[in-house]
Amino acid sequence: MPAPLSGLLTSVRAAVRAACALCIAVGDPERLEKQGREPVTLADYGSQAILLRAAALGFPEDRVVAEEGSAQLFAAAGADGIAEIADLVGAALGEQCTSDDVVGWIDREGGTGSRTWAVDPIDGTKGFLRGDQFAVAVGILDDGVPVAGVLGCPRFDAGGSTGVVLWGGPSIGVFAEPLAGGSASRVAVSEVTEPEATRVLGSVEAAHGDPALVREVIDRARLGGGWVRIDSQVKYAAVAAGMAEVYLRPRSREDWRERIWDHAAGVAIVEGAGGRVTDLDGKPLDFTFGPTLAQNRGVLVTNGRVHDLVLEALRVG
Ligand code: AMP
Ligand code: MG
């Protein structure tokens, strides 16, 4: 792999592992409300502090775009909550840190280099709160192109044991390693081409997409492998690991724009595993428009082999 990416990925993987350890340590998280009524937990902020600390210490030139900010944290958790996060972060890193450290890391925007970290500290917070799937996600964009990603999936079993880290990208390939420790093995998308064997993934939360349209596309394209609903970018991980062929994410409403931290890591990983990602019109996702995919309508992730037949079924409607 290109030398700069290799060192970067080593650091990001270590940070993602520590962030996953923090999420697991929190156990039974309390639900806090963010503006816009999306849930958040102390673990979201703790995870973001760990991930952005790695950017600050190792890659000061890199820009950072991350889901959470400390203004909401003060409103939702107060000084006591921040002190609690500092304890959690310190325990996960094995070193002391203060509330000021944590707030500084959470709000980091980074330098002016060509690389951007697109960070979702807990993707699928609703799944995390339900005891279902969630992912710690870091996507690396270079001039807006997803070149690498790391997905920590503490409750996902990609064919080994529960708890896995997937990492890699288009010029690297993709590897899965147990969160508990152990060697990495290469993963690849499935070779399925037949509609009748094609397995589909979608969101658990109906409000995050359009389940009726997913059902219609399955019927129109005669996709016969089943439709499983799981939270977060674990869906990208499952396609990359050959456990499903399609992840279809129609827009939840006309004015919804997908956020880059919900996709950057997943796109790098699926493309690196041999798959394909576009929007529902077949256009590549454009990560050059700030924090949202402003130019794209929905997201279609596949093993590549069944991509066109799903696009065709979307066009017919
Ligand atoms: P998933 O678990 O795949 O449904 O995706 C979780 C992500 O959905 C969260 O990280 C949010 O950023 C995102 N999200 C929240 N509200 C919406 C919405 N109305 N439409 C689409 N995505 C949303
Ligand atoms: Mg998210």
Residue partners of 47: CB distance under 8 A and separation at least 6: 19, 22, 23, 121, 122, 136
Q: Is 232 in the pocket of ligand 1 (CB under 6 A)?
A: yes
| Largest Cα span, the chain | 58
- Note down pLDDT in tens along the chain; length 317 residues: 555 899 999 999 999 999 999 999 997 889 998 877 789 999 999 999 999 999 999 999 999 999 999 888 888 889 999 999 999 999 999 999 999 999 999 999 999 999 999 999 999 999 999 999 999 999 999 999 999 999 999 999 988 789 999 999 999 999 999 999 999 999 999 999 999 999 999 999 999 999 999 999 999 999 999 999 999 999 999 999 999 999 999 999 999 999 999 999 999 999 999 999 999 999 999 999 999 999 999 999 999 999 999 999 999 86
Atom 5 (ligand 1): residue with closest C-alpha? 232
Q: Is 252 in the pocket of ligand 1 (CB under 6 A)?
A: yes
Backbone φ and ψ for 13, nearest 5 degrees, come out as -60, -40
Atom 18 (ligand 1): residue with closest C-alpha? 208
* Most informative mutation of 67, 128, 208 for ligand 1 (most atoms within 8 A of CB): 208
Residue 255 structure tokens: 């004015």
Atom 16 (ligand 1): residue with closest C-alpha? 208
Look up tokens 């454009």; give the residue: 286
DSSP state of 26: H
What pTM was estimated for this model as a whole? 0.97
Q: Which long-range contacts (CB under 8 A, 24 or more apart) does 153-156 make?
A: 153/179, 153/234, 153/237, 154/20, 154/23, 154/24, 154/179, 155/234, 156/234, 156/237, 156/238
Tell which atom from ligand 1 comes closest to the C-alpha of 252.
Answer: 20
Residue 3 structure tokens: 């030398």
Look up tokens 């005891």; give the residue: 131
222 alpha carbon to ligand 2 midpoint, in Å? 30
Element (H or E) spanning 138, and its range? strand 135-142
